[in-house]
Amino acid sequence: MSLQENRPTTRWQRVRDNDIVWSFIHSPGAVFAAAITLFAILACVFAPLIAPFDPFDPAQISLWDGKLPPAWIEGGQPQYLLGTDNQGRDMLSTILYGGRLSIMVGAAAVCLGMVLGVTLGVISGYVGGVTDAIIMRIADVQLTIPGILLAILINGIGRAFLPLELRQEFAVYVVILAIGLTDWPQFARVTRGATLVEANKEYVQAARIIGLPGWLIMLRHILPNTLRPVLVIATIGLALAIIAEATLSFLGQGIPPTTPSLGTLIRVGNDYLFSGLWWITLFPAIALVVLVFAVNLLGDWMRDALNPKLR
C-alpha cells in the first residue's frame, strides 16, 4: 500500500525496519533477557580473564581459606567477594567457570540434538515412506523413554564402558551426548512437520522440475525454511539442557566435582545448606536460575515474535 513507497534506504534502517527486530527493541523483557543472556555468556566465556582465581587449578586452592562467607559478612575476606566453598575455592570464580561449563554443555547438547534432529527430520519429511516410518518410530521410542532417565542411563553406560583414565575427561562429553540424544526427537518432529508443509509448496516442486537432486533441495530449499521453529525450540531447548545438566549433576550422575558445573556446585553446596554456609549453594543456584530464566525469556519472546498470528 501507499506506506510501502517510502522504502528505507540505509542498511541500519532496513534492519530496524525488520518486524522481528522492531518487536525486539520494543519488548523490554526481550531486551532484558538478551542482555542477561549475553552478559552471562560473555562472563562465562571469558571466565579465565575475569575470574579472580582459577578454581580448576588445585595449586591455587588453599584449604585454610575454606568456608569463608561473602566479603560483606563478618569473617569474609575482600579477595573472595562471594565467599569460598568447602575446598577454599573462590565462589565467584567457581560460578563463572561452572556457568561456562553449564552453558557449554547445554549449547553443545542442543547443537547435537539440533543437527541430528533437523537432519533426520528433513530427510524423514522429504523422503517419506519407509525411511520416514523408521525414523519416526525411533523417535517414538526415544520419546517413550523420558529424557532424564535416558541421560542417567547413557551416563551410567558411559561410566561403565569407558576406561578409568578416560572417564574423567569424557564425563563432559558423555553428559553432552546424553542430553543431546534425548533432545533430537523434538527437533526431528518439528522439522519433519515443517518439511511436510514446505515440501508441498510450489517452490520445492519448481526445484524438482528444474531437476535438482533431493539432497540439494533439502539443503538449499527446505532446510532454511524450517529453521524458524527450530530456532525457538533450540532456545528453549538450551534452557532445558542447562537444567538437565544441572539435574544430572545434582543427582551425582553428571560433571565431576573437580571441574564443577553449576549443578555440581549446587549439589555440593546443598550439603552445607543447614550448616549456615548458605552462600555455597545459594549463589550458584541464583546464577543457574537467572541464566535459565533469561534464556527462557528470550525463547518465549522469540516464539511470540516468530508466530505472526500472535503478534
Partner 1 sequence: MHYGKMLAVSATALILASPALAENVFRWTSQGDALTMDPHSQNEGPTNAMNGQIYEALVTRDAALTLQPELAESWEAGADGWTFKLRQGVKFHDGADFTAEDVVFSFERAKHEASDFKEQAKSVASVEVIDDYTVKLLTDGANPILPNQLTSIYMIDKGWAEANNVVAPQDFKAKEETYAVRNANGTGPFVLESRAPDEMTVLMRNGDWWGEGMFPGNIDKIEYRPITNAATRVAALLSGEVDFVLDPPLQDLKRIEGSDGLHVTTVAQIRSIFFGMDQGIDKLRTSDAEGNPFKDPKVREAMNLAIDKAAIQRVVMEGLSFPTGMITPPGVLGNTPGNDESYGFDAAKAKALLAEAGYPDGFSVQLDCPNNRYNNDEKICQAAVAMLAKIGVRVSLDAIPKAQHFPKIQKRETDFYMLGWGVPTLDSHYVFSYLLESSGSWNATGYKNDRVDEITAAITTEIDIDKRTMMIDEAWSLVKADMPYVPIHHQVLAWGIADGWDVPIAADDAVRPRFVVKQ
Partner 2 sequence: MIFFVLKRLAQSVLVMAIVSAVSFSLFNFVGDPVNNMVGQDATREQRIEIRQQLGLDDPILTQYARFLGNALQGDFGLSYRIKRPVDELILERLPATLELVFVSAIIALVVGITLGIYTGIRRSAWTSRIILSVSLVGVSLPTFIIGIALIYVFAVHLRWLPSSGRSGTMEFGWWKTSLLTIDGWRAIILPAITLSLFQLTLILRLVRAEMLEVMQTDFIKFARARGLSERAINFRHALRNTLVPVITIIGLNIGGLIAFSVITETVFQWPGTGLMFIQAVDFVDVPIMAAYLVFVALLFVLINLVVDILYFVVDPRIRLGN
Partner 3 sequence: MTELLKTNDLDVEFPTRRGTVRAARSVSLAVGPGEVVGLVGESGAGKSTIGNAIIDLLEAPGRVSAGSILFEGEELCGRSESEMRSIRGDRIGMIFQDPQTSLNPLMTIGAQLIETIEKTCDLRGSSAKTRAVELLEQVGITEALPRLAAYPHQFSGGMRQRVVIALALAGDPDLIIADEPTTALDVSIQAQILDLLKRLCRERDLGVIIVTHDIGVVASIADRVVVMYRGEVVETGDVAQVLGAPRHEYTKSLIAAVPRADGKLDRFSSVDYIEGNVEPFQRIDIQTHWLGQAQHERTSGNAIEVEKLELSFVLQKAIIKRNRKLVRAVADVSFEVKEGETFGLVGESGSGKSTVARLIAGLHRPDAGVIRVNGQDVSSSPRSGAARDARRAVQMIFQDPYSSLNARMRVIDIVAEPIRFYRTASNEAETRKIVGELLDHVGLGAQASLRYPHEFSGGQRQRISIARALASRPRILICDEPTSALDVSVQATILNLLKDLQQELGLTMLFISHDLPVVRQMCDRIAVMRHGSLCEVADAETLFSDPQHEYSRHLLDLMPRMDLLGKAEV
Could you list the residues that contact partner 3 (CB under 8 A)? 1-3, 22, 26, 201-203, 205-212, 216, 220-221, 224-225
Min CB(311)–partner 2 separation in Å: 11
> Could you say which of 48, 75, 214, 252 contacts partner 2 (CB under 8 A)?
252
Q: At 99, list the grid cell.
A: 556457568
Residues 232 and 249 sit within 8 Å (Cβ to Cβ)? no
Min CB(266)–partner 3 separation in Å: 42
Dihedrals φ, ψ of 84, to 5°?
Answer: -125, 160
Residue 36 binds partner 2, judged by CB under 8 A: no
64 makes contact, choosing from partner 2, partner 1, partner 3, none, with CB < 5 to 8 Å by partner type, with: partner 1
Pick from 156, 55, 69, 65: nearest CA to 99? 55
Residue 249 binds partner 1, judged by CB under 8 A: no
Residues 90 and 55 sit within 8 Å (Cβ to Cβ)? yes
Q: Which is nearer to partner 3, 50 or 219 (CB)?
A: 219
> What's the sign of the alpha-carbon dihedral 84, 90, 96, 98?
negative
224 makes contact, choosing from partner 2, partner 3, partner 1, none, with CB < 5 to 8 Å by partner type, with: partner 3
3-state secondary structure of 200: coil
Residue 57 binds partner 1, judged by CB under 8 A: yes
Q: Which is nearer to partner 1, 229 or 257 (CB)?
A: 257
Query: CB-side exposure of 211: number of CA atoms within 13 Å?
Result: 0
Min CB(287)–partner 1 separation in Å: 20
Min CB(266)–partner 1 separation in Å: 11
Rounded-to-integer distance, Cα 117 and Cα 195, Å = 12
Q: Which stretch binds partner 1 (CB under 8 A): 18-26, 59-67, 134-142, 297-305?
A: 59-67
Q: What is the DSSP letter of 233?
A: H
For residue 263, the one-letter residue type is: G
Binding residues among 153-192 for partner 1 as defined by CB under 8 A: 159, 164-165, 167-168
Helices (H), 200-278: 202-210, 214-216, 223-250, 262-270
Rounded-to-integer distance, Cα 145 and Cα 150, Å = 6
> Could you say which of 35, 149, 216, 219 contacts partner 2 (CB under 8 A)?
149
211 makes contact, choosing from partner 1, partner 3, partner 2, none, with CB < 5 to 8 Å by partner type, with: partner 3
Residues 254 and 171 sit within 8 Å (Cβ to Cβ)? yes
Dihedrals φ, ψ of 259, to 5°?
Answer: -125, 75
Residues 169 and 138 sit within 8 Å (Cβ to Cβ)? no
Residue 45 CB contacts under 8 Å (≥ 6 apart), including other chains: 100, 103
Residue 256 binds partner 1, judged by CB under 8 A: yes
Q: Which is nearer to partner 1, 160 or 210 (CB)?
A: 160
Q: At 109, list the grid cell.
A: 547438547
Residue 229 binds partner 1, judged by CB under 8 A: no
115 makes contact, choosing from partner 3, partner 1, partner 2, none, with CB < 5 to 8 Å by partner type, with: none
Residues within the interface to partner 2 (CB under 8 A): 137-138, 140-141, 143-149, 152-153, 156-157, 160-161, 239, 243, 246-247, 250-253, 263, 266, 270, 273-274, 281, 285, 288-289, 292-293, 296-297, 300, 303, 309-310
